[in-house]
Amino acid sequence: MTDEYPVGSLLEFARSLLGSRIVSGDVAVRLTEVEAYAGPLDPASHAYNRTPRSEIMFGPPMRLYVYFSYGIHWCANIVWGEEGTACAVLMRAGQVVSGLDEARRRRGAAVPEKRLASGPANLTKALGIGGTDNGADLSDAEGIHLELRTDPAPIIVAGPRVGVSKAADVPWRFWIAGDRSVSAYKRSPRAPAPSD
């Protein structure tokens, strides 16, 4: 590869998602926390190796990559970048801004509003996203789609990604400063000790 891998614009795209809305049926979520995964050059990415599961990320951008995690949870990424770069951004948390009743029905009545879509698995659950949505085209306004933010950028903070055991110190997680729905940082128990 002689071309420089588009890490800079991937991170820029990730930041532009903060404050944007992901819409699924009646439910809309304003994203407050995301993580970038840089395909084959990122050991923490599922696309580090090209396998049947990660194949969707090597395809065209603006598709949904949904995977099943820890035997119980679904998590959703937005595929981005030119075909073959296998970049993706994991949606980690957000605030439910419409379809509150529907989201609460999926998550449980006792869940406080701030936590309805707090955490990647909670976010997919609130939106009703599952395995059948893998590969969905986000530019299709009829289905799950993205409404990019048009108002000024919020104040954004960057830090290390949550729960990854490889490349654990790369600051590719972004969140809106001070937002209550953002996950608490938790280092993977398998990650090597941070270098100091």
Partner DNA sequence: TCGCTGATCATCT
Partner DNA sequence: GATGATCAGCGAA
Residues that bind DNA (CB under 7 A): 35, 37, 44-47, 49, 51-54, 65, 67-73, 75, 77, 88, 90, 107, 111, 115, 118-122, 161-166, 183-184, 188, 190
Beta carbons within 8 Å of 17's beta carbon, 6+ residues apart: 31, 34, 78, 89, 91, 146, 148, 149
* Token pair 């986000």 in the structure block, residue: 138
50 or 149: whose CB is closer to DNA?
50
Contact 77, 17 (CB under 8 A): no
23 or 164: whose CB is closer to DNA?
164
CB of residue 67 to DNA, shortest distance in Å = 7
At residue 107, the 3 state secondary structure works out as: helix
Distance between CA atoms of residues 49 and 57, nearest Å? 11
How large is the angle between the packed helices 100-107 and 120-127, nearest 10 degrees? 120
CB of residue 134 to DNA, shortest distance in Å = 8
106 or 151: whose CB is closer to DNA?
106
CB of residue 162 to DNA, shortest distance in Å = 5
28 or 86: whose CB is closer to DNA?
86
CB of residue 195 to DNA, shortest distance in Å = 19
Contact 96, 117 (CB under 8 A): yes
51 or 195: whose CB is closer to DNA?
51
CB of residue 18 to DNA, shortest distance in Å = 16
